[in-house]
A and B are shown apart, each in its own frame.
Chain A
């Protein structure tokens, strides 16, 4: 595959605002995961007794619910684009998904060209949106529904809450897996990634970028 990419050129994968929103999402999610684990997993339950973890869970929940609002406030076009992208798949995306096992095993060559998000990332984001909604709604029911709902209603809310977190945690494991395999952490920390690798994984997106700074920079 010809890339026409310079080894010294880098492309802007994530600007500062999406990186900050991602940091808010990651930190609030990990807070919720860890404090939730102390509430549900007996080896950690002594940490939760006393109520500190419950209160930290509430703090994490407020921050987690603030993520879409903050994203829309600081970078509305990017937030809307992310939501749109996550639920729209073109022919290349479907072909890409048919060969997802190759991508899973570290192969990009031969895969259909992808946009800013590859089809797997779109599915991941769609899953995050859907199960974040279900975890937020069920969590709010558990938080504020006491006294209004009977034991059955609260138990159903707790089961939806826990199963949503299970799916989000599996999605997180997948997210960390691909971050490790494709060296993607630098993009989310520093913002820029090597152009050659960007072309390999997101050819259509790189082609669509303006060929000037800050989208493309030459590294000394």
Chain B
């Protein structure tokens, strides 16, 4: 199965915010909502200052925590990307709590995040952010192609930036946004080895099957048993009334005998 990915080259990103604007416009996002957040970061002490661009967005993890905890299946994996069917979302916010990159947000009671411009891409187009990027920092295509391009760019970047590297090849099973970093991940506010706690997979693997199984069994078992048990109880109560009537009669008869 072909999987797709984004290339995000932070060596080329100039922080112009064009992708932010294109994403907001193309996806018709409500005021105050955006899927891409770009900020400039400055590190070090003057005069040895270094700056970099932070391009925060959904990284479309292969082992996506949001997908693992979503109880309704609104979040799911498709073509290597993490899609969101908002009509299935109940707004439980489990994905908001689970995401190691703090990406999904609740908007109007439903989860909201980048879905890789699913509609546009399926129609043969390119995602809005990729289409508008003026510095060629963004690409979209088959993951293998993207990965090869990422390594080529990182190699070229290492001439000036010795710590340049590819991020997202293995992290969380492989990210759907493969990044070319000019420096170590920690220097760019990215976790070197992000982890999803094993307990997150418990929801779909244990809690849901256990709930359906146990509730189904309880309903079926008590439903069948109720027919037998109610009949038994009614017979027992009827027998009790007969017994009580007989005892009352026996108690009354000696009095009658005395009267006569």
Contact = CB atoms under 8 A, between A and B. Distances in A.
Interface of A: 1-7, 38-42, 44-46, 48-54, 104-109, 146, 151-152, 154-156, 158-159, 162-163, 166, 169-170, 173-174, 176-177, 180-183, 196-197, 200
Nearest to A178: B229
Contacts of A49: 86-87, 89-91, 109-110
Given A166-B214, A180-B226, A181-B229, 12 more contacts: A2-B247, A3-B243, A3-B244, A7-B245, A42-B74, A106-B230, A107-B233, A109-B236, A151-B196, A158-B94, A173-B219, A182-B233
A41 B72 contact: yes
Interface stretch (B17-25, B151-159, B199-207): B199-207
Contact of B91 (A1, A54, A104, A155): A54
Nearest to B229: A106
Contact of A162 (B109, B207, B219, B234): B207
A97 B233 CA distance: 18
B144 interface: no
Contact of A159 (B202, B232, B239): B202
A122 to B, nearest CB: 20
Given A2-B247, A181-B230, A170 B218 contact: yes
B225 A159 contact: no
A166 B87 CA distance: 26
A166 B210 contact: yes
B108 A181 contact: no
**What interface size band does chain B fall in?**
35 or more
A161 to B, nearest CB: 10
Contacts of A146: 97
A105 B232 contact: yes
A178 to B, nearest CB: 9
Nearest to A147: B97
B92 interface: yes
Contact of B226 (A45, A109, A177): A177
B254 to A, nearest CB: 17
A41 B87 CA distance: 13
A51 B91 contact: yes
A105 B197 CA distance: 45
A4 B246 CA distance: 11
17 contacts: A42-B74, A45-B74, A45-B90, A46-B87, A46-B88, A51-B91, A51-B109, A104-B225, A108-B236, A151-B65, A154-B98, A158-B69, A162-B207, A166-B210, A166-B211, A166-B215, A181-B230
A182 B234 CA distance: 8
B203 A170 contact: no
> Which of B98, B200, B218, B229 has the largest count of A CB atoms less than 10 A from its CB?
B229
Contacts, number: 159
B15 interface: no
A124 B87 CA distance: 39
A5 B230 CA distance: 22
Contacts of A53: 90-91
Contact of A151 (B108, B200, B210): B200
A41 B230 CA distance: 32
A138 to B, nearest CB: 13
B170 interface: no
B237 A40 contact: no
A40 B72 contact: yes
A102 to B, nearest CB: 9
B74 A152 contact: no
Contact of A107 (B65, B225, B232): B232
Nearest to A36: B92
Nearest to A48: B90
A197 B199 contact: no
A51 B169 CA distance: 37
A2 B92 contact: no
B99 interface: yes
Given A155-B97, A166-B210, A40 B90 contact: yes
> Which of A44, A50, A158, A173 has the largest count of B CB atoms less than 10 A from its CB?
A158
Contacts of B160: none
